[in-house]
Homo-oligomer: A and B are copies of this chain.
Amino acid sequence: MAEVYAARRERVRERCTAGGSATALVTRPANVRYLAGAAPRGAVLLLGRGEDLLLCGSPPSGEAGEGRPDEAVAVRVLPRAGGDPAVAAADVAVARGAESLAVEEHHLTVTRHRAIGSVAPRLRLADLGGAVEQLRVVKDEEEISCLRIAAEIADQALGELLESILVGRTERHLALELERRLVDHGADGPAFATSVGTGPNSGRRGHRPTDRRVEEGDFLSVCLGATYRGYRCEIGRTFVIGTSPAGWQIELYDLVFAAQRAGRESLTPGAAYRDVDRAARQVLDSAGHTEGLPPMTGHGVGLEIDEDPQLAPAAMGKLDACVPVTVEPGVHLPGRGGVRIDDTLVVRPEADGGPELLTITTKELLAL
């Protein structure tokens, strides 16, 4: 793994040098972890001119959830109450003779940026922009295998829930039970707050579980994900409670299923992000569901649950092979509920069999 981290840091250094800065300061936690192997709380990474340096407020714990720092990176733990590691890093950059420092302006607050400027008034502060986020879009096979395991764990947790009795239990309890099962099966933890929605709450994106209990005749939507070695996946399914779904439920489910399939089938290397979004969206649009649709059909996943690319109407760019994304269209009818279906897939060329589905729980409409 050491070479992998070193190669990633080398690419960031090349980008900086091309942009006129020989030195870069990475502060966004997922970016620090991507480049250094671990991101203890508050840690920042200084790259270029001398050895790569991870500055932290407390020593790395070495726990599975946090990752282990790459051995080629020097680690410096600031003394107790040593202040902001980013400011300390700027100090080091100056001591090493740097004239310019590229920082992550989309992550640093105005106050921190100013503090760096005051400790190092002669240092020219440039913008690293989303350089590290862009590197993170295409995953290597090691990363994809972490995502695959994360998806297996989420499938297992969801599968076990479906075997239990659901009627009468609250959204909150179902969500907590799913999170316990994720950990049972080896997850570092949930990838995001598990969403469970029943009846009128079903089908709402990011719905926070309430005390509403599952009733006969409800739609039940569940969205969960596991984190495995830092990598986060996502799966969402909608079920119907009781022996026979109503006509409107079958119709709505079939529609969202068709939209989700259209989105999945459009995942090929070279496809424009917005075309994947449109493939799914136009199925819903043409059935008259133009209002209240989510702003995007899917997004990248990796060290963060919601990372580049966005599969949205105004997104610019094209898919590459080895990019994992979600495809998660949904429709919510106010007062009645709705349907969401959400998979994590990896874009693969057709010669390799097309998109690789990581979350394999069935998408038939199950009546539970």
Residues of A within 8 A of B (CB): 41, 61, 63-66, 80-81, 103, 105-111, 113-114, 127, 172-173, 176-177, 179-180, 183-184, 206-208, 210, 293, 295, 312-314
Chain B residues whose CB sits within 8 angstroms of the CB of A103 once the complex forms: 110
Q: Does B105 contact A108, Cβ atoms closer than 8 Å?
A: no
Known A113-B110, A208-B65, A210-B64; contact A176-B172, beta-carbon cutoff 8 A: no
Check A295–B110 contact: CB distance below 8 A: no
Q: Is the CB of A313 within 8 A of B81?
A: yes
Known interface pairs A41-B206, A61-B208; 19 further A-B residue pairs with C-beta atoms within 8 A, sorted by A's residue number: A63-B210, A65-B208, A66-B208, A80-B295, A81-B295, A81-B312, A105-B111, A106-B109, A106-B111, A108-B110, A109-B109, A110-B113, A110-B127, A173-B180, A173-B183, A173-B184, A176-B176, A176-B183, A179-B179
Closest to A177 in B: B180
CB nearest neighbor in B for A292: B80
Please, which residue of chain B has its CB at the minimum distance from the CB of A110? Answer: B105
Give the copy number: 2
Most chain B beta-carbon neighbours within 10 Å: one of A63, A111, A295: A111
- 25 CB contacts below 8 A, A to B, read A61-B208, A63-B208, A63-B210, A80-B293, A80-B295, A81-B313, A103-B110, A105-B109, A105-B114, A106-B110, A106-B111, A107-B109, A108-B109, A109-B109, A109-B110, A110-B127, A172-B183, A173-B180, A173-B183, A176-B176, A176-B179, A176-B180, A176-B183, A177-B180, A179-B179
- In the docked arrangement, what's the CA distance between A183 and B180, Å? 13
State which of B110, B183, B207 has its C-beta within 8 Å of the C-beta of A110.
B110
A227 to B45, CA, bound (A): 34
- Interface centre among A110, A127, A179, A208, by most chain B C-beta atoms within 10 angstroms, is A110
Nearest-CB distance from A174 to chain B (Å)? Answer: 11
Q: Which residues of B contact A64 (CB under 8 A)?
A: 210
Whole-angstrom distance between the alpha carbons of A98 and B127 in the complex?
30
Q: Which residue from chain B places its CB closest to the CB of A291 in the assembled complex? A: B80
- Determine how close the nearest CB of chain B comes to the CB of A172; give it in whole angstroms: 5
Chain B residues with CB below 8 A from A313, complex form = 81
A354 to chain B, nearest CB (A): 29
Measured CA separation A177–B177 after assembly (Å): 10
